[in-house]
């Protein structure tokens, strides 16, 4: 299985993604992360891939316990020259997600039957979400929406997660591998 895992990692690098192997026991899941979604996020209740529409922290913790390893995926970009950073970030997020989803499909084909991607940021495949997702094949939730503390994960790999710095924008996803 390690050979298949290496195929997935190699593909990640080809797609321009940084990939770090994690043991799932080292992935911190915390209620306080979800708190930030519910109180203060301008998009709360607007995207079907985020609270209150997705599973809670406890349910996700149980699911995570059924996996042993995961790949932390990072796409980094310097957007300091962009005139409209929010628009550029939206495009960047979608593009990064598609690359990460390609990896999930590859992992499945390599025998990781339960491979599952936690996407970078809230879904933005459509301008707005309607009552029911109209592109269910793209329906994935982000790590922070189920309580994963990305700041602490980044610390574990020796990196710092800085917010609101256009010169160092990161899209972060997690691919559960089993």
Per CB under 6 A, 129 contacts ligand SF4:
yes
Minimum Å gap between C-beta 137 and ligand SF4 is: 9
46 Cβ contact partners less than 8 Å away, ≥ 6 residues apart: 128, 129
In contact, 112 and 26? CB cutoff 8 Å: no
Minimum Å gap between C-beta 67 and ligand SF4 is: 23
Reported in sequence order, the residue ranges of 10-111 that DSSP labels E, i.e. its strands, are: 18-23, 69-77
Per CB under 6 A, 44 contacts ligand SF4:
no
Minimum Å gap between C-beta 40 and ligand SF4 is: 21
Per CB under 6 A, 125 contacts ligand SF4:
yes
Only segment of 102-110, 119-127, 141-149, 163-171 that touches ligand SF4 (CB under 6 A):
119-127
Per CB under 6 A, 49 contacts ligand SF4:
yes
Per CB under 6 A, 42 contacts ligand SF4:
no
85 Cβ contact partners less than 8 Å away, ≥ 6 residues apart: 79, 166, 169
Residue of the chain from 11, 30, 79, 139 that contacts ligand SF4 (CB under 6 A): 139
Residue of the chain from 12, 19, 33, 48 that contacts ligand SF4 (CB under 6 A): 48
Q: What are phi and psi of 159, to 5 degrees?
A: -120, 160
CA 51 – CA 115 distance, rounded (Å): 22
Count of C-beta atoms within a 10 Å radius of residue 68: 12
Give residues in contact with ligand SF4 (CB under 6 A): 47-49, 123, 125-126, 129-130, 133-135, 138-139
């Amino acid at each position: 299985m390690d050979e298949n895992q290496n195929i997935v990692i190699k593909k990640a690098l080809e797609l321009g993604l940084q990939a770090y192997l994690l043991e799932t026991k080292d992935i911190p899941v915390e209620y306080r992360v979800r708190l930030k979604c519910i109180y203060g996020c301008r998009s709360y209740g607007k995207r079907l891939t985020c609270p209150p529409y997705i599973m809670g922290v406890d349910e996700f913790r149980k699911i995570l316990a059924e996996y042993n390893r995961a790949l932390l995926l990072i796409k980094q970009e310097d957007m300091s020259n962009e005139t409209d950073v929010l628009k550029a970030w939206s495009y960047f997020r979608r593009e990064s997600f598609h690359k990460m989803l390609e990896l999930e499909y590859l992992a499945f084909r390599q025998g990781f039957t339960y491979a599952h991607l936690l996407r970078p940021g809230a879904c933005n495949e459509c301008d707005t979400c309607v009552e029911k997702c109209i592109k269910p094949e793209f329906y994935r939730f982000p790590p922070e929406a189920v309580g994963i503390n990305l700041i602490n994960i980044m610390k574990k790999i020796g990196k710092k997660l800085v917010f609101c710095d256009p010169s160092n924008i990161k899209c972060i996803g997690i691919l559960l591998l089993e």
